Structure 1
């Protein structure tokens, strides 16, 4: 699916410089950044969910272990 990404002049310049430094296209660098963002936030969301949902079940056991 195609989409348009609107960047400020400063963002576009920074992306261009980074892409040139890495000998990659601006599109490749931007797509990699999106993938890394999604992966990073997906892990954080999963961990938060597990802590919110599962930790209370084991709160008493964890408290006892801490004594």
Structure 2
């Protein structure tokens, strides 16, 4: 799997909606939705910093490394 984005989980814990967070971070709802739905291929550090500031969290709360399954059948 690689890097998993847990933005939806952190947003739910903080009771922040997509529109509210998009406005606070100054990012389009479409781009934030891509992040939230774990479809992003990259994220700028400045965006990550703004998200962490708005959600009062650490980058590790949002980003998680999940080792890929080596056993393929």
TM-score, normalised with respect to structure 2? 0.33
By percentage of residues, which structure has more helix?
1
By percentage of residues, which structure has more strand?
2
Report which of the two structures shows the higher radius of gyration computed on alpha carbons. 1
TM-score, normalised with respect to structure 1? 0.35
